Structure 1
């Protein structure tokens, strides 16, 4: 009966609702009844529960759910045709969302739901592309408004900063950006466009002085941070070195670089503090390099060659000598220099390798490092003979064995100058002193062969001015030796032993003719043995000069006194 009654009521209601006016009256009545009921909170809750239960019961049927969705969709679309309704709905939804989001748990649930929905949609490639296009169009439409663009930038910036507080997120972002850039740069055209864009952006920024300064500081800070890592420093050095080498293959680029560096250095060196710091830096760098013995040897060879080349100019040598002499005028400086050099050499000479190297270097300095240099040094040394006379010992020396004595005159006490230096002028109108005497004087010792030590050569008397064969006639000893030319240089050397043969000169003296004319000469031939046919010496001797020389020797030489030579003084009377 209830079922029949329900059907009847339903049919009656359908019949009534065909009339528009009745439908409106019924709606108004239902609406008023509902509003009256909802004034009571309990009734509202009962109604909500009932509607909820009814909806849940309906939704258990898939077909009912789909019908409901379609109906709701159609209703929403119909409503949204009215702009005002759309705005009201948006405001309502916005308010509802904001109210929900005040609860953290609701926010997380909503995020998860949205995320799941997006992931489900994005499984379909076509939907992904549509979504991308839609988002792109929406963003482009928004960005036409400058204010919105700025708001978006600030929002994105804040979001990125918040994310980057997490180190892991920062690393992931870096890797992602790096991968994306690498993927793009595989295309040459994209690379060129990116370069041009970056170049234009940098040029535009650098027009502003403040931006340039900020960029410089940023780059400087970044470089300093990188350089704290030794490996990064080495990689950077190698990269810069390779780049410089590639550039310097072009001669014009090299010249431009040289001029630029020269101008920059000159400009910087006007600052005294910079000059001092530069010297210190170079000093530390050189000390570090010189720990490598090969570098040290190369540097030494280079300096030696450079100094030798410079010292070919007499003006440079003079300047160098003046500089050193000015420094060494200070006694403390000289003593410190000597002590420092002595300590340094003593420390170095503990190493056998250094001793060998020093010996080789000393030989190379003296004789040259190559055969050509050695020959050149030798030829230069023998250009002039031993014409330089030492003012202290009066011996003759080559040019490389003497120095100008003006230095000693300035630095020695006046009593030492008067004692050792005799003002003897020789080559070039200068007073020279040999290195042997100079060393002894500087060490405050008496030079062994100096005139002050009574080591002067005796003056040769006029009576002994004889020719070579005349000397042999009255010589008590005749030395026999082999003298030959050396294979190089044509100098003479003694070969084998030297034999001094004693000679009895009495028969020779008795054999000299006694003539009254003092200017007479006698031809004499000297043989080694009488049985030989050839003669070693052939010369005209002066008997009178020989007799005078023999008289002088008998009076002044103990050797001749002991020889008991007898001269007949009465031969003129007979």
Structure 2
């Protein structure tokens, strides 16, 4: 029922509106003033709407245009009247505005040009009409013809300057015309030949370079002729031999000069052959590299740097030095480098002989299997260094300094979670600080490690002399709580499903070492050097043995023997030249050795400088801070000269490089 009442109300409203509209329409019909007032009011309202709404104005304009266009289509007279009116208006505008006339002319030109491009017949008709008009003008006006000729000459000259091909085509056409004339006229050819001879003779007299160029061209032409004609070569050889024989008979000095020249030429040829042979040998040796091993020091050398020698027949060694021959283990005939040969020939044991304990130790399988991160985790020293890979050349460079941080491998064990199988692996991130943001940095090392391999490696390393002397002992508590050999009961298969379900809970036991509780894919964060004081690599003599287990297997290198003391430079020479390329192929160790050798040379230079200062037994830190003493040392120039062996020092460049450049 309520719906019926609403419908009745709506119909009643519509009826009232219709009645009201009919009543207003009757009023307008009876009262024209009312219609005029409403029109004015509507105009004012529409004008206000148009001012406020630009879209309304645009719509009305479009509607007006459409209405007018429809009217024009239906009424031809209306179109004609509008055209006439537009012509009159445009003519008045052109008279008053010269700029408008110019714009219309340009627009007309553009339109005509577009028409010509589209209509080939129109272009042809216009060309013909223009030709006829210009021909009539030229016939009536002599001056016009002369001006056009001059203008054509200037245009052609400009075209030739800008267009090399046009000049070449015209030259070829002129040559063809002149050749046709010469063929028809014998006298013309003769006159030209005579004139050309006179001109060339005058040019040669005035220009020495022209004469030289002609000689060179003549030589080239004759050489080409000789190559094509063997008979010509033979005739010239015979004539030359006869001429030279006659000259030698008449001139004995010429014979002597030729003999001397021949001797010099033959000597140069012999030298060139030797140089070429030596260069070939050098290139071969450079390509192959050092391949010959010294039986004494074990270093690799080139063939020219080693020599074979019978050590037992030619050298009288003491009984204590017989160990050297036994150590060679290559028989009586050995080959030695030049450095070792000088000492052996005097009956001395060479400084870098492997018998001094410099032989590399054998690396067990448990150490060789370790990856980079596992090697760091079992090391008692961690060497922090920034190594960059250059984009070009495939080489490496080191940025910054080398930091030697002592660590305890036992601190790594509690971080490893309990795993029931030796084949399990863990993701570990080696960081400088554990408080760093979670995101991986460039200097962080992030890899997977195998706890079983770490346990085996630590069990081996703690029994080596370098780890023992460093006081590294392996705590057995961790192995007791988490044994390696787990008993397998008869219920193992029943508990297999439960072990998979509890695998996540076992890893969660190490949440204290995870980077983020929500993101466990990063693994264990490990910062062994955090809070540790770095050690000087010169004072920490076993830093290399403790930091690189895969190179030295935790064995100490001999620093002092009964007869000599080894330096950092001695170790660098012996290890990097050795036939065993483990050190030479380890890029971090190369940079570590370079930096350590550089510090050693700088320290030695400073010690030499302190000993050279007169009246000063020791040079303390206070003396280095005293400006007066520093200026005195600089004035004596001893500090400058003491660092002449450092390659990066100014004194080294002044002493070695600058002299070579001069």
Q: Is TM (by shorter chain) over 0.5? A: no
TM-score where L is the length of structure 2: 0.28
Highest RCO, 1 vs 2 (Cα 8 Å, sep ≥ 6): 2
Higher-Rg structure is 1
Choose between structure 1 and 2: higher helix proportion: 1
TM-score where L is the length of structure 1: 0.32
